[in-house]
Amino acid sequence: MKAHEEYCQAILRERRGAAFVASPASGELSPFGYQVIEITGHSDMWGKYRDLLICKIEGIDPVYIPVKMDVVGCPLNFQMMKDQAPILRFGTHVSGAPLVQRSLRINNTSPFDIRLDWESYNILPQDNQLLDMLVFVGQPLPVIQDGQEVVPAFQEQDCYLCEEKPFIQVKLREHEGIRANRPFEVTPSQQVIPAKSHSSAKMSFYPFTENPSGEVCAAYAAAYMSLDPQLLEIPGRVRRSHEVELRPFRLDMTANIDPAILSLETEEDKGTEFITAASDLLNGDTPLVHRFVLGNTTETPLTMRFDVQAPFKILSAEPPQSAKSKKSQSPGSITIKPAKTLELKVGFFLSDELVLKVNDLTAGQEETGGVMLVTSDDGDRQLVFKQDLKVLFSNNTSQVIPLMASIAVPSLRLSQDVLDFGTCLVGQSVEMHVTLRNPSRSASAWVAKKDPRYPSISQDVFVVNPTEGFLEANSSFTSQTKTTLKVTFTAKHSVEYECVVIVSGQLKEEEQRLVLRGRGSYDQRHERLVNVTTDT
């Protein structure tokens, strides 16, 4: 095998790209005999080759036999892929990870220098285009130096070798991909592979995708091959195509991009929603803590940090010892090994300031900061806070975990806004009842006070009992959500009395106003022999 290779190299030593060998090259032809001459073509360069086989026989004119040979294929190959289809697999990388580069050695087995112009094309699965129309103005693939196109000098003595081409060329070719320099790129974009030598090109992969489920990348790099104009044609001997007229040297490339994303497990039945009540401030039950388990489902360690805005706060984020990476990391960052988990504790901090927002909001309208007041027909009110827990990865990508907290705000309702005792005998006490209820899912500590703007004589004739209390949240049928207020009216003079009782809560519930009216009289006919208690 090696001897045959050395023999071919010797035949092609004149570096013309092809050679014909006649065997036998000479001999003696017997009377009425014949001789079989075997013509062998050798080539190390593409092209259409033409020659004449000259048979010289003593005593007669020479006989000329045309010999033709069309050579196709490419004299270039990759050092690592000589005996297989050229395909470069970058493997799986996390989106936003650093640039991945592979250096490939390209061998040129031809006797001529070959200039390569690299272009990369992405292969999309839903691409139904059939043809590409290429429009070239001037040289299709000019020589580039320092970012500028080099215009070759015109040499009149070489013009017979050149075929004049139109200034604007339009060509159609089969569509195989969409030209792009991401996520794959080849550098340098233009290079020369010396004759019977080699050079290197760098294949780069930029792993980035906005697809939350990841992406499978398929592409190919096409290198258009160009030759020196003097090598394109020797009249009557050889003709070679190049640039866009020739099928390019091709390298297929594949890669997978996994999103930098963590799996999320929450405590059973809790999810990412924090449910609390304003009455927890009275009990000191704050903050409300939820536990999340975040898992690294990728095949590479992930470094991240967490960010969340008030009223939420990260309480702890510590992976187990087996999940920690040994690599050094910046302060505040956490690294989780593949297939490992991290326990994250997030707290929701309830405060008086948050509860006070209820009086400044319009129901059903989301305000700045993701806060909104939600009301129901039965008087239940809830403050809803929405924030995003951001997982900021070291590769400049992020993952958003939506958090929501709902605060049940207490409400107070009176069964009647006005109590009218009518006309009563002076000095006789008359009692009426009114019901105070809490329709919300938050307990309420309430107090009843008389409006100080009314005269003291009007305040003294009305007595409310009890003047304070505690109503449980409306969470079940057995909850103590109602209480009865007993109002007693004792007229001191034959005049009209009016007073207002204001029922308010410690958690800034809406004030309820109860108007009390009554009139005193000395007329005995208004005497009530039986004190009838009226419930309203």
pLDDT at position 227: 92
Q: How far apart are CA 534 and CA 419, in angstroms?
A: 10
Q: Three-state SS string across 485-504, please?
A: EEEEEECCCCCEEEEEEEEE
Please tell me the least confidently modeled range out of 114-123, 263-272, 290-299, 386-395.
263-272
Instruction: Write down which residue in 409, 433, 455 finishes a domain.
Output: 409
326 lies in some domain: no
Instruction: Write down which residue in 208, 228, 258 finishes a domain.
Output: 258
Average of per-residue pLDDT across 427-443: 89
Q: Which two tokens stand for residue 435?
A: 């019901």
Residues 4 and 67 occupy one common structural domain: yes
Residues 33 and 176 occupy one common structural domain: no
Residues 374 and 239 occupy one common structural domain: no
Residues 208 and 349 occupy one common structural domain: no
pLDDT at position 159: 45
156 lies in some domain: no
Longest pairwise C-alpha distance within the chain: 170
Query: What single-letter amino acid sits at 285?
Result: D
Residues 404 and 438 occupy one common structural domain: no
Query: 98: which DSSP letter?
Result: P
Percentage above 70 pLDDT, the chain: 92
Residues 84 and 229 occupy one common structural domain: yes
Residues 342 and 476 occupy one common structural domain: no
423 lies in some domain: yes
Q: Is the pLDDT of residue 155 over 60?
A: no
214 lies in some domain: yes
Query: What single-letter amino acid sits at 108?
Result: N
Query: 72: which DSSP letter?
Result: -
357 lies in some domain: yes
pTM for the structure as a whole? 0.63
pLDDT at position 236: 86
Give, in degrees to the nearest 5, the angle at Cα 35 between 32 and 39: 155
307 lies in some domain: yes
Which helix (H) or strand (E) element contains residue 222?
A: strand 215-226
Residues 377 and 430 occupy one common structural domain: no
Q: Tens digits of per-residue pLDDT, 328-377?
A: 556 678 888 888 888 888 988 888 888 877 777 777 777 777 788 887 77
Query: 330: which DSSP letter?
Result: -
The number of distinct structural domains making up the chain is 4
Residues 62 and 87 occupy one common structural domain: no
Residues 128 and 240 occupy one common structural domain: yes
Average of per-residue pLDDT across 157-168: 61
Instruction: Write down which residue in 71, 95, 129 finishes a domain.
Output: 71
Q: Which two tokens stand for residue 352?
A: 């008086």
Average of per-residue pLDDT across 14-26: 87
pLDDT at position 384: 87
Residues 268 and 398 occupy one common structural domain: yes
Q: Tens digits of per-residue pLDDT, 475-516?
A: 788 888 899 999 999 989 889 999 999 999 888 788 899 999
Lookup result for tokens 């930029």? 206
Give residue 225's domain range: 76-142+164-258
Query: What single-letter amino acid sits at 279?
Result: S
533 lies in some domain: no
Task: Find out whether 119 and 179 touch, Cβ atoms under 8 Å.
Answer: yes
Q: Three-state SS string across 387-425, please?
A: EEEEEEECCCCEEEEEEEEEEEECCCEECCCEEEEEEEE
CATH number of the domain enclosing 270: 2.60.40.10
End-to-end CA, the chain: 114
Residues 252 and 367 occupy one common structural domain: no
152 lies in some domain: no
pLDDT at position 321: 63
